[in-house]
């Protein structure tokens, strides 16, 4: 499976938000994203995308300025 793990970067530390993320979709406000895992779990994360490395299965978010 090709899901990824989502992290929020705080003070240059990566904090796991959700494992096995399948879907990433911006919310209407454009200041947060809806994450859905392959298990159907959902989470809204406030922030913006900092970096995605799909081969490393990583999506990094950071706080909006």
How far is Cα 60 from Cα 10, in angstroms, rounded to an integer? Answer: 10
Q: Which of residues 11-30 bind a second copy (CB under 8 A)?
A: 21-26, 30
Question: Which residues share a beta bridge with 21?
Answer: 4, 37
Q: In angstroms, what is the minimal distance from the CB of 32 to a second copy?
A: 13
Query: Nearer to a second copy by C-beta: 44 or 54?
Result: 54
Going from the C-alpha of 42 to that of each of 8, 17, 18, 45, 54, the distances in angstroms are 16, 11, 9, 10, 20
Q: Is 42 in the site for a second copy (CB under 8 A)?
A: no
- Binding residues for a second copy, rule: CB under 8 A, are 1-4, 21-26, 30, 38, 48-55, 57
């Amino acid at each position: 499976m090709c899901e990824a793990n989502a992290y929020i970067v705080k003070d240059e530390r990566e904090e796991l938000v959700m494992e096995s993320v399948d879907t990433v979709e911006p919310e209407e406000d454009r200041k947060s994203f809806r994450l859905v895992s392959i298990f159907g779990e959902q989470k809204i994360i406030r922030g913006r995308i900092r970096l995605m490395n799909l081969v490393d299965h990583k999506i990094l978010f950071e706080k909006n300025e």
